[in-house]
Amino acid sequence: IRTDILDQGDKFLLQAELPGFDKEDIKIDLNGDTLSISAEHKAESEEKKEDGYVRRERRYGSFARSFDVSGIDTSAISAAYNDGVLTLTLPKRPELVPENRQIAIQ
Strand partners of residue 19: none
Distance from C-alpha of 25 to C-alpha of 40, rounded to nearest angstrom: 6
**Percent of all residues in the chain with a pLDDT value above 70, rounded to a whole number:** 85
**pLDDT score for 99:** 79
Is the dihedral angle over the CA atoms 63, 66, 72, 76 positive or is it negative?
positive
- Give residue-wise pLDDT tens across range 28-75: 999 999 999 999 877 666 677 666 667 666 667 788 999 999 999 999
- Give residue-wise pLDDT tens across range 77-91: 999 999 999 999 999
**pLDDT score for 19:** 87
Radius of gyration of the chain (CA): 23
